[in-house]
Amino acid sequence: MLATSPAFKQNASDAMADSGLQKALTRTRAQLPARRAAAVAALPEFEQLRNIGRDIKNHTLANLDFYLETWEANVTRAGGQVHWCSTADDARAAVLAICERVGARTVTKGKSMISEELGINEHLEAHGIAPIETDLAEYILQLRREPPSHIIGPAFHLNREDWEASFRASHTHLPADRVFNEPRDIMAEARTLLREKFIGADVGITGANFLIAETGSSVIVTNEGNGDLTQTLPRVHIVLASIEKMVPTLEDATSLLRLLARSATGQDMSVYTTFSTGVRRDGDWDGPEEYHVVLIDNGRTGMIGTDFQEMLRCIRCAACMNHCPVYMTVGGHSYGWVYPGPMGSVLTPSLIGVDQAGQLPNASTFCGKCESVCPVKIPLPKLMRHWREREFERHLTPVAMRRNLGLWAWFARRPAAYRLATRVAAAMLGLLGRRRGKFAALPFAGGWTEGRDLPAPEGETFFARYAREQRAGRA
């Protein structure tokens, strides 16, 4: 996927002027945090579980080589095959090789963010194989040729009229005068069309929420059941999983599952949580005859042992973006790559480079809400700060910002000068703004005052007032 992350500022401006997107964001802004809060309130042990989730992931990452090898041995024992892939190119080639070997013409797919990261669909299409997204939201995005804007609700940015228009434009074999009264009519049309695709597919590709070393299983979590149909009906099942999905045991996966759905949608448990272990057994009536796991690194091992290792704990619940004032204002597409919101602002520079994605860790108010809801306690603001430092060290920060930071640093290291400068500035601004009490425009701050007024200082600095009140209090 080609990143538009370097154009974040322009993307964000466009997004704020997009009335359809703003309507979609307004609809869900309060809903998602409220649902999570209700689910968390109903489980008194939730806070303890967050610590446990963090510790399980830390333990696994510290011993990842052992768990990956143990897991592979168990996959092999169950008739499956693991394809180790260092890069996105390797992973695309591995998927294509399997599809070509079995003569696949159509491939059904469950929702997978790693598939977006790898650009699997484009690669298959270029080689004459038709990928079909089966998650309802991914399906409409495929019709519209749009990337996902949210990691669990990929069509988060669309409204009902968009669904209707896309279905009418794409499903031209159906009567043009059919009526969509309810969302369920739209869903029913997709269900019917996709049923045929599920049955006709030669290969099914899913992601994985977890890999379990103890049993050699891959786990997917869905509400629709599309992932299960994808992996049950075709002759071949390919799992795409990055290395940090690993957990040691079923008990460990269980603890993380208690966190996942509550953090994501406010459900206690998603509808279908499915553990897949190898190929169809003798006597089975259904299930795949081939089971492959394409195991992907694509930059993750480079994060181990660095400041950003903590990011590899992420279980992709989307709580951070659901609670983010920036995400909820500019939407997911503004971030310009696969992973939006706070987790994307940390992960994207790690995976595509801070030179491409340096603006993302700057797009934060540092309110800290993301960290406070993260089920595995990733210190997202701290990690964004690390990226800002790296960006500065590598001279990627814009010249004007570097100059202003330098100016501020000079004053900050000289308290007397700082106090003098702020006293003069506050007095002047106070004098100039006394009549109206605020400024609608200021030199060098046009971008800031475009959206709001700056209240005029009352003429005295905090330091001066504090000192005066201390004196008065003592007197």
Partner 1 sequence: MALRARLAAHPRQLVPARSQVPRPEQIALLVRNIEREYGTVHRVTGPDDVPAAVGDYLSSHNLPSDFAMAPHPELQNLPWHVRPMLSIRVGRAMPSDLVSVQHGWAAVAETGTLVLPSAADRPTTLNLLSDTAIVVLRASRVVGAYEAAWDMMRAEWRDPLTGGFMPRNVMLVTGPSRSADIESVLELGAHGPRRLHVVLVDDDPAAKPAPV
Q: Does 330 bind partner 1 (CB under 8 A)?
A: no
Give the footprint of partner 1 on residues 121-140 (CB under 8 A): 134-137, 140
Task: Please state, in angstroms and as integers, the Cα–Cα distance from residue 93 to each residue in 17, 204, 352, following that order.
Answer: 40, 16, 20
Q: Scanning residues 285 to 304, which ones bind partner 1 (CB under 8 A)?
A: 285-287
Q: Does 340 bind partner 1 (CB under 8 A)?
A: no
> How many angstroms separate the CA atoms of 160 and 180, rounded?
10
CB closer to partner 1 out of 229 and 360: 229
Cβ–Cβ contacts within 10 Å for residue 160, how many? 12
Regarding 347 and contact with partner 1 (CB under 8 A), the answer is: no
Q: Does 309 bind partner 1 (CB under 8 A)?
A: no
The strand order across the sheet containing 203-206 reads 81-85, 290-296, 236-242, 203-206, 106-109, 130-133
Q: Where are the beta strands (DSSP E) in 347-452?
A: 438-439
Q: Write down the least CB distance from residue 77 to partner 1, Å.
A: 5
Exposed/middle/buried for 207, CB within 10 Å: 0-12, 13-18, 19+? buried
Q: Which of these segments, 85-93, 123-131, 283-291, 370-378, binds partner 1 (CB under 8 A)?
A: 283-291
* 364: contact with partner 1 by CB under 8 A: no
Q: In angstroms, give the least distance from the CB of 341 to partner 1.
A: 17
- Dist. CA 388–CA 357, nearest whole Å: 11
x/- letters, 11..30, toward partner 1 (CB under 8 A): -------------x--xx--
For residue 22, the minimal CB distance to partner 1 (Å) is 14
CB of 106 to partner 1, least distance (A): 16
166 binding partner 1? (CB under 8 A): no
Per-residue string for binding with partner 1, 403-442, x by CB under 8 A?
----------------------------------------
Structure tokens at 299: 């930059």
255 binds partner 1 (CB under 8 A): yes
User: Any contact of residue 281 with partner 1 (CB under 8 A)?
Assistant: yes
268 counts as binding partner 1 under rule CB under 8 A: yes
Structure tokens belonging to residue 359: 């603006």
Least distance between partner 1 and beta carbon 52 (Å): 5
Q: CB of 405 within 8 A of CB of 82?
A: no
With respect to partner 1, which residue has the nearer C-beta, 4 or 255?
A: 255
Q: Give 220's strand partners.
A: 274
Let me know: does 45 contact 367? Beta carbons within 8 Å.
no
Number of residues interacting with partner 1: please give it, by CB under 8 A: 84
Letters for 180-199 (x = contact with partner 1 by CB under 8 A, - = none) are --xxx-xx---x--xx--xx
Residues 283, 95: contact at Cβ < 8 Å?
no
Told to check if 217 binds partner 1 by CB under 8 A, we report yes
CA–CA distance, 334 with 205 (Å, rounded to integer): 28
Helix runs in 201-337, H state only: 226-232, 250-264, 319-322, 327-330
Site string for partner 1, 77-116 (x = CB under 8 A): xxx-------------------------------------
Q: How far is the CB of 232 from partner 1 (least distance, A)?
A: 5
Q: Is 167 in the site for partner 1 (CB under 8 A)?
A: no
Residue 112: CB minimum distance to partner 1, A: 16
Burial tier of 70 (Cβ tally within 10 Å: 0-12, 13-18, 19+)? middle
290 bridge partner residues? 236
Which of 96, 106, 272, 390 is in the footprint of partner 1 by CB under 8 A? Answer: 272
Q: How far is the CB of 277 from partner 1 (least distance, A)?
A: 5
Q: How far is the CB of 293 from partner 1 (least distance, A)?
A: 14
Cα pseudo-dihedral 454, 460, 466, 469, rounded to 10 = -120
CB-nearer residue toward partner 1: 191 or 436: 191
- For helices 136-144 and 183-200, angle between their N-to-C axes, nearest 10 degrees: 90
- Piece of the chain touching partner 1 by CB under 8 A; list 70-78, 318-326, 374-382, 443-451: 70-78
Rounded CA gap, 348 and 346, in Å?
6
Q: Nearer Cβ to partner 1, position 257 or 324?
A: 257
Q: Side chain identity at 456, as an amino acid letter?
A: A
Asked if 34 interacts with partner 1 (CB under 8 A), we say no
Cβ distance to partner 1 smaller for residue 53 or 341: 53
Q: Which residues contact 143 (CB under 8 A, 6 or more apart)?
A: 166, 167, 169, 170
